[in-house]
Chains A and B, each alone.
Chain A
Amino acid sequence: MEEVKLLGWWMSPFSRRVELALKLKGVGYEYIEQDLANKSQLLLEYNPVHKKVPVLVHNGKTMAESLVILEYIDETWPNNPILPRNPYEKAMARFWAQFIEEKCNGGLWKIMWCKDEEERGRLVEEASHCFRTLEGELKGNKFFGGDEIGMVDIAANFIGYWLGVVQEVSGMELVTRDKFPVLCKWMDEFVEHSVVKETLPPRDKLHAEFEARLGAPSWKY
C-alpha cells in the first residue's frame, strides 16, 4: 500500500504547491504540519541539507524542493498530468516554472524586504517587466497549462493568491487590474479552481501573518 506523507507549513506557497499536485492527482496523503520556529527532529532528519518544507515521503523515501517534488509526483502518478508529454513543450513548462521561481518570486522577495525607497522603486520596475513577460505566456488560455492547470500554474501559486495579500498589507501596487488585466484574470481563475481552493491558506490569517512579518527587520524563516 502506498504511504505518502507531506511535511508542510500552512503559510508556505512551496508546501501548498505539493498539496495541490497531490490533490489534482487524487493521491491520499498524511499531512504533518511543521513548526518552523522550532524545527522537528523529523524535518531535520528528512531534509538535513536545507531544513525546510515541503518534504514528501513516499514509501519511506524522502524528497525536498517543491519543483523537484512536483516532477516526482507527475512521474509516479501519471494520471491528470501536470507536465506536457512532448519533450519540447515539457522543456517550455520547466523554463517558465524556473522563470517564475527566479525572476517573479525572487523579484517579489527582494521588494518585500527592501528598506531603501529608491532601490525598491528600481526593483518594482524590474519585477514589473518580469510580470509582463509572464503575462505574455498565457497566450489567450485560461491557464498556463492550457484548459487545465499545469506545472507552471502550480509554480505561480504565490502570484495567484499570496501576492494579493502582500500587496494589501504593504500597499505595493505592482500587479494591478489596470496594469495587468490578463494576469489578474488568470489569478481569478486560479483561486476559483475547485482543487486550488482547498490549498489556499485562510486569507485573514495570511493577512495577519504578513502584517506581523513585513514590519519585522527580516523574515524569520
Chain B
Amino acid sequence: MADEIKLLRLWASPFCQRVELALKLKGLQYQLIDEDIWNKSELLLQSNPVHKKVPVLFHNGNAIAESFVIMEYIDETWKHNPLLPKHPHGRANARFWANFVDEKVFKTASIAYLGKDKPQEDGIELFSQQLKMLEGELAGKDYFGGDSIGFVDIAAFFIMHVYGVVQEVKEAELMTQEKFPVLFQWLAKLEANDLVMECLQPSEKHLAHVRARLSVLDEEAASKTKAA
C-alpha cells in the first residue's frame, strides 16, 4: 500500500515550510491542505487539539504536530537521505542547534524586530550575539548539515528568510551581509536550491502577508496602550 501523506499548513508559516522541505528532500509525494488559522477547521481542531496549530502531518491516518517532532518522525520513517547525522553525538549537536533557533533566536527576534514584551535595544544586541553563534557553528561548512542540507539548515532557513521579509517591511537592518557574511553566504546557497524555493511563495505575496500581519499586531498593541 502506498504511503498516504498529507500536510495541514499555512503557506506563510516557516514551521510548515520546514516540514515541506523535509518531505521534498526525501522525495516523498504528499498532499497539501491549506488551513485558515484565523478560522480554524474541524480537521485542525481534531488533529491537534492540544495546540490547535499548524503544521500537522498525517501519515497513514496518524496525526503528528510540532515541526521538529514531525521532522524527526520523517527522518525515522524514511531512512534514505538522512536529515540528522548517523552518530549520536552529531545528532545531539544538531538537536541542540535546532532548539537554539527556536528557543533563542526566534524569541529574541520578536523583541528585536517588534519590541515584544521587552525593550527593543536589549533584543537587538542579543539577536546579534545569537546570530554570531550560529555563524560560529557554520564556519567552514557549506551547510549546518555539512556537505548537504540537514536538520539545522531546515530549522533555521525559513525563520531567517522571514526576517529578511520583516526587514523589508519594517525597513530594519538588523541582519545584513556586512554584519553576518557567513550567514548570508549560507542563505544564498539555500535560496539557489530548487526544492527549498518550491516551499516558498512569490516574494510579493509574502511581503504583502507580513505587512498585513505586522499592521494587525501594531493595531493590537496600540489598542492595548489606549485601554491601559
Q: Once the chains bind, are B76 and A87 in contact (CB under 8 Å)?
A: yes
Contact A88 B64 (CB under 8 A): yes
A87 engages B89 (CB within 8 Å): no
Chain B contacts of A49 at CB under 8 A? 96, 100, 133
Q: How many A-B residue pairs have CB under 8 A?
A: 58
Contact B92 A63 (CB under 8 A): yes
Within 112-145 of A, Cβ neighbours of B (below 8 Å) are at: 133
Most B CB within 10 A of own CB, among A68, A75, A76, A92: A68
Chain B residues within 8 Å of A87, by CB: 73, 76-77
Docked-complex contact A71 and B91, CB < 8 angstroms: yes
Which segment, of A24-32, A94-102, A186-194, faces chain B?
A: A94-102
User: Smallest distance from the beta carbon of B77 to chain A beta carbons, Å?
Assistant: 5
Q: Which residues of chain B come closer than 8 Å to A92, judged between CB atoms?
A: 64
How many interface residues does A have (CB within 8 Å)?
A: 22
* B110 proximal to A (CB < 8 A): no
Given contacts A65-B99, A133-B50, contact A91 B92 (CB under 8 A): no
With A71-B91, A72-B88: A88-B96 Cβ-Cβ less than 8 Å: no
Q: Of residues 8 to 28 in B, which have CB atoms within 8 Å of A's CB atoms? A: none
In the complex, whether B135 has a CB less than 8 A from a CB of chain A is no
CA of A94 to CA of B65, assembled, Å: 10
User: Which of chain B's residues have a CB closer than 8 A to the CB of A63?
Assistant: 89, 92-93, 96
Do A75 and B91 touch across chains, with their CB atoms under 8 A apart?
Answer: yes
Nearest-neighbour CB distance to chain A for B102, whole angstroms, equals: 10
Given contacts A49-B133, A98-B69, contact A72 B100 (CB under 8 A): no
Question: What are 23 pairs between A and B in contact, CB < 8 Å?
Answer: A49-B96, A61-B89, A68-B92, A68-B96, A69-B92, A71-B91, A71-B92, A72-B88, A72-B92, A76-B88, A87-B73, A87-B77, A88-B64, A90-B76, A91-B72, A92-B64, A94-B66, A94-B68, A94-B69, A95-B50, A95-B69, A98-B68, A98-B69
**B residues apposed to A, CB below 8 Å:** 50, 59, 62, 64-66, 68-70, 72-73, 76-77, 88-89, 91-93, 95-96, 99-100, 133
Enumerate chain A interface residues (CB-CB to B < 8 A). 49, 58, 61, 63-65, 68-69, 71-72, 75-76, 87-88, 90-92, 94-95, 98-99, 133
